[in-house]
Chain A
Amino acid sequence: AQKVTQAQTEISVVEKEDVTLDCVYETRDTTYYLFWYKQPPSGELVFLIRRNSFDEQNEISGRYSWNFQKSTSSFNFTITASQVVDSAVYFCALSEFGNEKLTFGTGTRLTIIP
């Protein structure tokens, strides 16, 4: 069975600080997909990134970056120079190859203090 753990329930940082959200996953499959979603206070789910298990390259998109390490089964998300608009709940999720079902972590509530 697959499992996603987001041990950080809530994080608060002062604006412009960097912050890293942790995600640890478990799966028996060798091919799988990892996702990050953002849920702002308005409630919708916003897709941020998808990563295939065979691609361990880190990815950067503006102030966002993702560190994928298969050796530690982690897919961490870093926001650089945080902004108030980054305040949201962030979910990490996993799906196995050939199976569209997503397993979500419990989410990390990020608050950026102005």
Chain B
Amino acid sequence: NAGVTQTPKFQVLKTGQSMTLQCAQDMNHEYMSWYRQDPGMGLRLIHYSVGAGITDQGEVPNGYNVSRSTTEDFPLRLLSAAPSQTSVYFCASGERDQSSYNEQFFGPGTRLTVL
């Protein structure tokens, strides 16, 4: 199993450009999510999905869109990049088991710089 993969690893954008951060998992997990990590602020939830066709907002959703057309993929779209979106982005996936919660598996991260 490759686990959770993210592409690209690094990206530099100019203000106003759009791009998509890719995330894929091969563990058949229902739950997937996106976090951003900023210095001194830990990781904050952007968007999440509890299954194909179902997405919801997290703590900091503004400026980001997501969709979940398949179980495996959960792309994060920046419609018009801003310098405030300079961050490290982590994708995570996990099983949904109400009886015994399992840990979430994180991808390696994407470091995004917006100039």
Contacts and interface: CB of A to CB of B under 8 A. Distances in A.
Interface of A: 4, 6, 9, 33, 35, 37, 43-45, 47, 50, 52, 91, 93, 95, 97-98, 100-107
Nearest to A33: B101
Contacts of B105: 47
B71 to A, nearest CB: 15
A44 B108 contact: yes
B42 A97 contact: no
B42 A100 contact: no
A97 B99 CA distance: 9
22 contacts: A35-B103, A44-B106, A45-B109, A47-B104, A47-B105, A50-B103, A52-B101, A91-B43, A97-B98, A100-B33, A100-B48, A100-B101, A101-B45, A101-B58, A102-B43, A102-B45, A102-B92, A104-B42, A104-B44, A106-B40, A106-B41, A106-B42
Interface residues of B, number: 27
Contacts of B92: 102
A91 B42 contact: yes
B114 to A, nearest CB: 19
Interface in B86-107: 88, 90, 92, 94, 96, 98, 101-106
